[in-house]
């Protein structure tokens, strides 16, 4: 292709700005902007023809209709729209009207070029406005998942901004029973708090089964610190409502939507959450995280260690208890969906492994501490993620095999349950790729 022949043919179609003249050659001579290409073509033609140089101001460009003269103005509008938001990364995109896209196609056709020669107007706008924005903000371009996504809507003459979520990772301990992990809406009244105009007896008119949750004791503090519109709690599984979460705690991520602040002091945030939770919940190890951590937390295959207080229907021998637990240790357990959760989960049979099991009898009131026969025991079980430990003890009417009840021949029931550890089957949450460096925010 002779570039001057192209340029003459292109200029004969009507008024063209330098950028639109140069854009169909955007894949030639790297290091030049399209405006520089167009001006160079216009200059070369003037020199070759020994005629007066004609600038691109002879009339509004029929291809972009003046859009390319507004790179600076668009960038200023973007910077203004982002004022008040803290961000490390950004990306600029553009919605180009179909008419302007068609004009670009017609120019290439009239000048004898392929329809996809050079680059599209959208790409040039993204680049030119994006680098101008970069000159005014302390942030880097990110084409994968930026903190803020800016869209130039040419048809509506508007700048749309999408503020992507910020994330805080940590581990929580739940120190009081009867606190769910997240809000628990009342199904009896569909969260309305009333049935036939009367207060719902299932929730005392509140619309929720429980007054508090781990989410409600933590997420509002993070939302306020980051000045976001909403905070969502994501946990690595969940313990039963009546169970404590102790020991090393359970991994979680709090997602803050549309945050104005991202660079928060996580040590101060940790203190503020613990003060707000007032001893009901504790968090530790808070770190700023990436959005990938949410999926990692929610889908992480974690093993768990439980401590249970178990009541037997009749006293059992210490030697029998030890033998029963030893038989469970290392065993693959078949568990049909428990009766207590069958209303919300599919009725299937799952297999889970018991890694370790140990325990000792507990003396009844007024008896010696070291007993050989009793109706209570404290048991610890380390098992594969998804193991129903209450049913491992009770047998759940034969739906779990083997079980402690079946091995001892005595009905057993868990009366108190504590989760002591939630640890990864493969690796703990230490991969730096999932965290944001506070020093860089």
Write down the catalytic residue from 18, 88, 147, 240: 240
Beta strand extents in 392-437 (DSSP E only):
400-401, 412-424
Q: Which two tokens stand for residue 422?
A: 């939630």
Q: Which of 77, 72, 63 is nearest to 157 (CA)?
A: 77
Residues 6+ apart with CB under 8 A from 213: 179, 180, 181, 182, 183, 184
Q: Which of 302, 299, 304 is nearest to 253 (CA)?
A: 299
* Rounded Cα gap, residues 140 and 434, in angstroms: 18
Buried b (16+ CB within 10 A) or exposed e, 224-253: ebbbbeebbbbbbbbbbeebbbbbbbbbbb
Half-sphere exposure of 122 (CA within 13 A, CB side): 14
Residues 6+ apart with CB under 8 A from 99: none
| 305 and 421 Cβ atoms separated by less than 8 Å | yes
| 49 and 101 Cβ atoms separated by less than 8 Å | no
Tell me if residue 196 is catalytic.
no
Q: Which two tokens stand for residue 249?
A: 């705690």
* Rounded Cα gap, residues 91 and 93, in angstroms: 7
Residues 6+ apart with CB under 8 A from 264: 168, 225, 226, 288
* Rounded Cα gap, residues 417 and 240, in angstroms: 8
| 183 and 215 Cβ atoms separated by less than 8 Å | yes
DSSP 8-state assignment for residue 435: B
DSSP 8-state assignment for residue 197: T
- Neighbour-count burial of 436, counting CB atoms closer than 10 A to its CB (0-12 exposed, 13-18 middle, 19+ buried): buried
Residues with active-site annotation: 240
């Amino acid at each position: 292709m002779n570039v001057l022949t192209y340029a003459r043919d292109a200029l004969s179609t009507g008024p063209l700005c330098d950028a639109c003249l140069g854009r169909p050659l955007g894949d030639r001579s790297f290091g030049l902007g399209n405006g520089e290409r167009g001006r160079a073509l216009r200059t070369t033609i003037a020199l070759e023809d020994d005629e007066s140089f004609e600038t691109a101001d002879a009339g509004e460009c029929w291809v972009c209709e003046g859009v390319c003269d507004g790179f600076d103005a668009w960038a200023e509008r973007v910077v203004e729209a982002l004022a008040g938001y803290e961000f490390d990364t950004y990306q600029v995109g553009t919605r180009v009207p179909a008419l302007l896209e068609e004009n670009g196609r017609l120019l290439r056709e009239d000048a004898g070029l392929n329809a996809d020669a050079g680059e599209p107007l959208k790409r040039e706008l993204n680049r030119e406005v994006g680098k101008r924005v970069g000159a005014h903000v302390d942030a880097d371009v990110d084409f994968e998942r930026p903190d803020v996504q800016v869209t130039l809507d040419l048809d509506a003459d508007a700048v749309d901004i999408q503020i992507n979520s910020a994330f805080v990772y940590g581990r929580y301990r739940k120190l009081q029973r009867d606190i769910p992990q997240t809000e628990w809406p009342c199904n009896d009244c569909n969260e309305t708090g009333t049935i036939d105009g009367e207060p719902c007896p299932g929730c005392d008119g509140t619309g929720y089964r429980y007054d508090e949750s781990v989410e409600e004791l933590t997420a509002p503090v993070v939302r306020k610190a980051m000045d976001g519109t909403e905070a969502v709690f994501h946990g690595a599984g969940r313990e039963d409502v009546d169970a404590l979460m102790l020991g090393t705690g359970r991994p979680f991520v709090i997602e803050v939507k549309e945050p104005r602040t991202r660079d928060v002091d996580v040590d101060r945030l940790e203190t503020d959450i613990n003060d707000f939770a007032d001893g009901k919940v504790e968090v530790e190890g808070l770190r700023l995280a990436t959005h990938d951590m949410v999926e990692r937390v929610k889908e992480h295959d974690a093993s768990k260690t439980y401590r249970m207080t178990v009541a037997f229907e009749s006293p059992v021998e210490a030697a029998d208890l030890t033998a029963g637990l030893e038989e469970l240790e290392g065993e693959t357990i078949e568990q049909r969906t428990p009766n207590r959760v069958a209303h919300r989960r599919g009725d299937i049979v799952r297999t889970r492994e018991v890694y370790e099991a140990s325990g000792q009898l507990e003396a009844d009131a007024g008896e010696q501490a070291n007993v050989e026969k009793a109706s209570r025991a404290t048991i610890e079980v380390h098992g594969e993620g998804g193991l129903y430990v209450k049913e491992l003890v009770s047998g759940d009417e034969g739906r779990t095999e083997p079980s402690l009840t079946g091995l001892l021949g005595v009905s057993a029931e868990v009366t108190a349950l504590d989760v002591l550890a939630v640890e990864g089957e493969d690796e703990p949450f230490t991969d730096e790729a999932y965290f944001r460096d506070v020093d860089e925010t």
